[in-house]
Chains A and B, each alone.
Chain A
Amino acid sequence: MSDTSTPGDVEPGHDHEHHHEGPGYATPQAAIEESEREQLAYVMSLYVGTDVDAPDFVAVVDLDPDSETYCEIVDRVEMPERGDELHHFGWNACSSSCHMDGLERRHLIVPGQRSSRIHVIDAKDRRNPELETVIEPEDVFEYDLSAPHTVHCIPDGQILISMLGDADGELPGGFLELNEDFEIEGRWEPPGEIEMNYDYWYQPRQNVMVSTEWAAPKTYYPGFDLEDVEAGNYGRKLHVWDWEAGTVEQTIDLGEEGQIPLEVRFLHTPESTHGFVGTALSSNMFHFWRDESADEYRAEKVIDFESREHEDWDMPVPGLTTDILISMDDRYLFGSNWLHGEVWMYDISDPSNPRRADSLSVGGTFGEIQEVQGRELAGGPQMLQLSLDGERLYWTTSLFSSWDDQFYPEEAERGSVMLKADVDPRRGTLELDEDFLVDWGDCPAGPARAHEIRWPDGDCTSDVWQ
C-alpha cells in the first residue's frame, strides 16, 4: 500500500500487500502458484489398541515419483510412550502468521487423542523430523481438559487445541492454549461456553470461529453404541464464536439430519463467511454462512447421502461422511463416505447449491475397487488431503482404532493404506492412480493404522489467512 492510498481502501491494521517475511503464503492463490509439488507427507500412524507392543509414530512418506523410495515410509518418529492414539495434528505457524517476521513453520504439534499427551516435533529437517518436547497428560488434566483433537496456530505464535473432555473424560470439553515456547498458557475460553467439542476452524478477518461436536470421550472412545445416540450423548450442534473474545455468540442445532457434525471448513478466501460441515452419522453436508440481514449465521443441509441396503447387513448402511476438505481455490468440496467406500468432489462455486462433479467407488462396504496392486484395502476412504494445486487427492483408511475394530476389524490385521486419485480441476474429474499405494501393513513392528495427512509446507486443511 502506498502512502497516498485513500483511507478506506483497506481495513485498518491490515497490510494488503503482505510483505511476506513470515511463514506460509500471502493468499490462497499464492499457495497454489508458489508451492511446489508435495515431496513428502507426514501421516499419523498408530498401534494403540492392538497387541503390537510399540508406540504410535509419525510416518514420513516419500511422494516424489522420481525417487527410488516413492510410496515408501522413509522415516518414523516414534512417540516416547505407548497408548497415544495419534489422530490429528498441526503446525506451530501457518499463513495466518505470514506477517510475523522470524516465525517459521517448523514444529508439528502432535497430540495423543487417548493419552492426552502432547508432543512437539521439530521438522526443520523435513525428511528427518525429531521429537523436541512433550507435555505430559497430568499437566493437561490440571486444566480439567483431556482428549486433544484439532490443532491450529493463532496468528501471533500461540497454538490452540480443541479438547473433547474434562480430566475424567466427561463433558464439558474446551480449548487449551499453548504459548510459542510450547508451554501450556491455560484454558483459552471461559469454562462453560460449550459442552461437546470436536473440530474447529477460524476466519480471523470475520472475527469468527466455528466449532463442532462429537461426544464425551468416555462415550466415543470405546466405539460407537447406538444407545448413546438415542440417549442424546452424541452431538448435533455448531457453535459460532467471537474469535477475539473467545465466547460463543450463537449455537445452531442441526437437528436429526445433522447428527455428529465433525470436520468444519471455511472457504479459504479470508473475506468469506461461507463454510461446510459434514455431519457424519446423518451423512449430510451442511452449508453455513453469515446472513447479513439477520446479523447471524445460518446452516442448511445441501447434500444428502442416502443409506444403502446391503445383503449382509440388517439395517441400511449409512455413508458415514467422516472427512471433508475444500480445494485451495474454493471451487470444490471433497469428502469421504467411509462406510460406503466412496470419495467424491462437488462443485461449490455456488456454495448454496453444490453440484456433484465426480466420485470414486473404492474400498469400504460397496466399493467397486477392493484391491490396489493386489492389496486388499480392508477399509473405506477416510482422512483426505489435497495437493495445494488441487490436482492430487490422497487418503488413508483408518477412522479411530476402536471404531475401525467395529466396522472394519480386518484393518487391525492388515494395516491401513494410503491411496491417491488424480484430479482434473478444470474438468471436475477424479481418477484413481493405481500406481500409487503406501502400505502400513509392512511396518517393522507390525501392521499399523494411518490417519491424518499433512504436507511439509501447508495444505488445504491447515492454512488460514488473516
Chain B
Amino acid sequence: MTSHDVTLEWPDGRSRTIEVREDETVLEAAERNDIGLPFGCRTGACGTCTGRLLEDGDDALTHRRQPRVLKDRHLSEGYVLLCLAAPRADCRIAVGSSVHTELVENPWK
C-alpha cells in the first residue's frame, strides 16, 4: 500500500513527520505512532479532530466520507477532519486543539 509523509505541526513549533498509508486516516496513523491528537465522534460530525492543510490545493488529502461538520467556508480555508482524511501526497497539517476552535467565533463580541 502506498504511503506518504505527513508532517504534523503544532502551534508551539513542535512537529512530527509520520508515514500514513493511503488506506488509513491521519488520526489512525497518529494513534499507531502514539501521538495524541484530539478527536471525538470519528464519523465526521463533530470537528474535534479538525486540522488545517498547509499546502496549496486540496488534493493531498481525501475524506473517506462526507466531512459533514465542515461548512463550505471551512473547506475553502483548508480545514480537514483527521478522523476521515487519508493522504494522496506528502503534506503538512496544522494540528492540536486550537485548530478546531477556529471553526466558530464568538458572534456577539
Contacts and interface: CB of A to CB of B under 8 A. Distances in A.
Interface residues of A, number: 42
Contacts of A53: 36
Interface in B57-109: 66, 68-69, 71, 96-97, 100-101, 103-109
A312 B106 CA distance: 12
Specify the main secondary structure of chain B where it touches its partner.
loop
Contact of A114 (B48, B68, B103, B108): B48
Contacts of A141: 43
A169 B43 contact: yes
A50 B41 contact: no
Given A49-B48, A49-B100, A146 B41 contact: yes
Contacts of B100: 49, 222, 402, 405
B45 A406 contact: no
B45 A226 contact: no
A48 B104 CA distance: 17
Question: Which one of A168, A313, A317 has the highest number of Cβ atoms from chain B below 10 Å of its Cβ?
Answer: A168
A83 B109 contact: no
Contact of B69 (A51, A218, A317): A218
Contacts of B103: 222-223
B26 to A, nearest CB: 15
A90 interface: no
Nearest to B31: A82
B42 to A, nearest CB: 7
Interface residues on B, range: 20 to 34
Contact of A222 (B36, B46, B106): B46
Interface in A38-66: 48-51, 53
Contacts of B45: 146-147, 165, 168-170, 217-218, 221
Contact of B107 (A51, A137, A224, A401): A224
Interface string A304-318: 000000001111111
Given A83-B48, A221-B69, A406-B105, A412 B42 contact: no
Interface string A386-417: 00000000000000011001110100100000
B101 A405 contact: yes
A328 interface: no
B13 to A, nearest CB: 14
B96 to A, nearest CB: 6
Contacts of A409: 101
A314 B109 contact: yes
Given A83-B38, A83-B42, 13 more contacts: A51-B38, A82-B39, A137-B42, A141-B43, A147-B41, A147-B45, A169-B41, A217-B46, A313-B109, A317-B108, A401-B48, A405-B100, A406-B105
Interface of B: 36, 38-48, 50, 66, 68-69, 71, 96-97, 100-101, 103-109
Interface of A: 48-51, 53, 82-83, 85, 114-116, 137, 141, 146-147, 165, 167-170, 217-218, 221-226, 312-318, 401-402, 405-407, 409, 412
